[in-house]
Amino acid sequence: MRIRGLLVGLLVVLFIHSAFAQNVAFLVSMEVTGMTQQCVYAFGADRYTLTIAAHENCVLSIIVD
């Protein structure tokens, strides 16, 4: 059981490290505007907007430059 806990902890640390190493912005809000939807993502103090069709779902995260 202890080894399993250590492995899970290691995977979480690796996931968090890889997420920030690749500049991943996470979904913070969304707004439907007529036939489109604005998905707003945050990476640090920066905000990014992705416009998609109103019936589509916003992805939870995006990779930014």
Instruction: Tell me, yes or no, whether 29 lies in a domain.
Output: yes
pLDDT tens by residue, 28-37: 999 999 999 9
24, burial (CB in 10 Å: exposed 0-12, middle 13-18, buried 19+): middle
Average pLDDT, the chain: 86
Instruction: Tell me, yes or no, whether 38 lies in a domain.
Output: yes
Amino acid at 20: F
Whether the per-residue pLDDT at 8 is higher than 80: the answer is: no
How many CA atoms within 13 Å lie on the side-chain side of 62?
17
The C-alpha atoms of residue 11 and residue 2 are separated, in whole angstroms, by: 14
pTM confidence score: 0.66
User: Which structural domain range is residue 64 located in?
Assistant: 23-65
Instruction: Tell me, yes or no, whether 40 lies in a domain.
Output: yes
CATH of the domain at 59: 2.40.50
Instruction: Tell me, yes or no, whether 31 lies in a domain.
Output: yes
Amino acid at 36: T
Instruction: Tell me, yes or no, whether 62 lies in a domain.
Output: yes
- When divided into structural domains, the chain yields a total of 1
